[in-house]
Amino acid sequence: QVQLVESGGGLVQPGGSLRLSCAASRSIFSDYAMHWYRQAPGKQRELVAQITSGGFTHYADSVKGRFSISRDNAKNTMYLQMNSLKSEDTAVYYCNARRAVEQYWGQGTQVTVSS
């Protein structure tokens, strides 16, 4: 079993930055692919960014060049650095760990981009 806890969400003005964190309850990054998803009101949950166990990264086109996913293996923590935020980035952001059919989700953290 793995517990994932997100933090770092909040209210930010357009053009601003936030850094989200996802703390895992144990060391999993060498075995699990890690993901950030988001879900805006009335929309389906969508993949934002991924980092594989080997360290390869992938981004949704909508965030490419603005968001950066990373991890600190010693702290069992994954990050999402979000820059140049737009109103359309407003959503609940979820952390996900996946290995084959096994997966875990965090509780989500709200990000609101508004002036």
| Site of tokens 């996946």 | 98
Specify the pLDDT at position 36: 98
Specify the pLDDT at position 114: 97
Specify the pLDDT at position 63: 98
Name the burial class of residue 90, with classes exposed (0-12), middle (13-18) and buried (19+) by CB atoms within 10 angstroms of its CB.
middle
Q: Which residues in the chain land under pLDDT 70?
A: none
Q: How far apart are CA 34 and CA 27, in angstroms?
A: 12
